[in-house]
Amino acid sequence: MRLKDRVAIVTGGSRGIGQATAELFAKEGAKVIIWDLLDEGSYVAKGINESGGTAEFLKISITDKDAVEASVADIAKRYGKIDILINNAGITRDKTLVKMSDDEWDAVIAVNLSGVFYATRAVSQVMRENAYGRIVSAASTTGLRGNYGQTNYAATKAGVIGMTKTWATELGKFGITANAIAPGYTQTPMTDAIPDNIRQMALMTIPVGFLADPIDIAYGYLYLASEESRFVSGICLPIDGGYSR
Ligand SMILES: NC(=O)c1ccc[n+]([C@@H]2O[C@H](COP(=O)([O-])OP(=O)(O)OC[C@H]3O[C@@H](n4cnc5c(N)ncnc54)[C@H](O)[C@@H]3O)[C@@H](O)[C@H]2O)c1
């Protein structure tokens, strides 16, 4: 088992890529804590526990700084440590630049950028005390290349890459690595709303010729959360079928 007895927080673990990650990490021996707004996370945790793994669901919004800090203190007390933080939760509010409202801008910044900052700031203090940590955050190919209709999302995902490189610099001496992944087009509830013709166009830009399943992305999180990546820090790993080559 690649994560035996590791304590891992997976944000946005109620569905999509986060759910696949929570389930994969539990199979690899981690004790998984799911932070999400959606109650479906309790079913994900139940499923993991019924199949012999260890998981719990906590209804936490990463935009709520006080709730994040209180939950980190509670988890550290109950489990004695936090080894892994998967900053996976994210949202989109797509519009072209001139049509994008302040609310659409603010909402995406609050979750994808400030939420990742709050979670990492709180968890990294526990990791420092234990001289061990793996921080892996969801960027996106949009953060690398931009994307039509995604000014707000691109800003946050490029921001995640910048924060990750900074954390690698600051936290390496405490036994903590910080990395990001940049998923390409993955079939999840986030992308279900995209019209079929746009999906077909996207497919033509992906050299391997298919869209990712959530588990394809979860395997990337697993590598960067495991011991095997101990000499990897400050990178952003594209997992995109060759799209951002
Ligand atoms: N699906 C893709 O094609 C794709 C591509 C590139 C990057 N990503 C990124 O991967 C991550 C996961 O994406 P997904 O497709 O699984 O999305 P999803 O919408 O299916 O799942 C996201 C989860 O995050 C949760 N969440 C949203 N706001 C939250 C908050 N404030 N606090 C806690 N949880 C919150 C949601 O409730 C949901 O369960 C996101 O960061 C996304 O930006 C996805």
**pTM for the whole thing?**
0.99
Interval 195-221 mean pLDDT = 95
- What's the pLDDT at 129? 98
196 vs 217, residue with greater confidence:
217
Q: Is residue 241 part of a domain?
A: no
Q: Is residue 244 part of a domain?
A: no
Of 244, 23, 42, 17, give the one whose Cα is nearest residue 143.
Answer: 244
pLDDT per residue as tens digits for the range 103-152: 999 999 999 999 999 999 999 999 999 999 999 999 999 999 999 999 99
Compute the distance between CA of residue 48 and CA of residue 160 in angstroms, rounded to an integer. Answer: 29
Cα–Cα distances (Å) from 218 to 17, 75, 158, 215, 228, in that order, read 6, 23, 20, 5, 15
Residue 132 is among the residues annotated as catalytic for this protein: no
Q: Is residue 111 part of a domain?
A: yes
- How many other C-beta atoms can be found within 10 angstroms of the C-beta atom of residue 208? 11
Q: Which atom of ligand 1 is nearest to the CA of 64?
A: 31
**Local confidence band at 36 (pLDDT 50, 70, 90 cut-offs):** very high
Give the closest residue (by CA) to ligand 1 atom 13: 17
- What's the pLDDT at 193? 84
Q: Return the H-helix or E-strand segment holding 176.
A: strand 176-183
Ligand 1 pocket test: pick from 57, 64, 91 the residue with the most ligand atoms within 8 Å of its Cβ. Answer: 91
**Is 90 exceeded by the pLDDT of residue 194?**
no
Q: Is residue 159 part of a domain?
A: yes
**Local confidence band at 78 (pLDDT 50, 70, 90 cut-offs):** very high
Which one of the listed residues 118, 132, 148, 153 is annotated catalytic?
A: 153
Q: Is residue 245 part of a domain?
A: no
Mean pLDDT across the chain: 98
Of 41, 27, 7, 83, give the one whose Cα is nearest residue 218.
Answer: 27
* Torsion angle (degrees, nearest 10) of CA 117, 89, 165, 143: -120
- What's the pLDDT at 20? 98
Give the closest residue (by CA) to ligand 1 atom 31: 61
Q: Is residue 1 part of a domain?
A: no
**Is 90 exceeded by the pLDDT of residue 19?**
yes
- Measure 213 CA to ligand 1 centroid, in angstroms: 14
- What's the pLDDT at 71? 99
pLDDT per residue as tens digits for the range 161-179: 999 999 999 999 999 999 9
Q: Is residue 31 part of a domain?
A: yes
Print the SS3 string covering 55-110. Answer: EEEEECCCCCHHHHHHHHHHHHHHHCCCCEEEECCCCCCCECHHHCCHHHHHHHHH
Q: Which atom of ligand 1 is nearest to the CA of 87?
A: 41
Q: Is residue 28 part of a domain?
A: yes
Of 230, 12, 214, 5, give the one whose Cα is nearest residue 115.
Answer: 12
10 Å CB burial of residue 157 (0-12, 13-18, 19+) is buried
**Is 90 exceeded by the pLDDT of residue 74?**
yes
Q: What is the percent of the chain with per-residue pLDDT over 70, rounded to a whole number?
A: 100
**Is 90 exceeded by the pLDDT of residue 209?**
yes
Give the closest residue (by CA) to ligand 1 atom 23: 12
CATH number of the domain where residue 111 is located: 3.40.50.720
**Local confidence band at 21 (pLDDT 50, 70, 90 cut-offs):** very high
Residue 101 lies in domain: 7-235
Domain count, the chain: 1
Q: Which atom of ligand 1 is nearest to the CA of 89?
A: 24
- What's the pLDDT at 27? 98
Q: What is the percent of the chain with per-residue pLDDT over 90, rounded to a whole number?
A: 96
Q: Which residues line ligand 1 (CB under 6 A)?
A: 11-12, 14-18, 35-38, 61-63, 88-91, 111, 115, 138, 140, 183, 185-186, 188-191
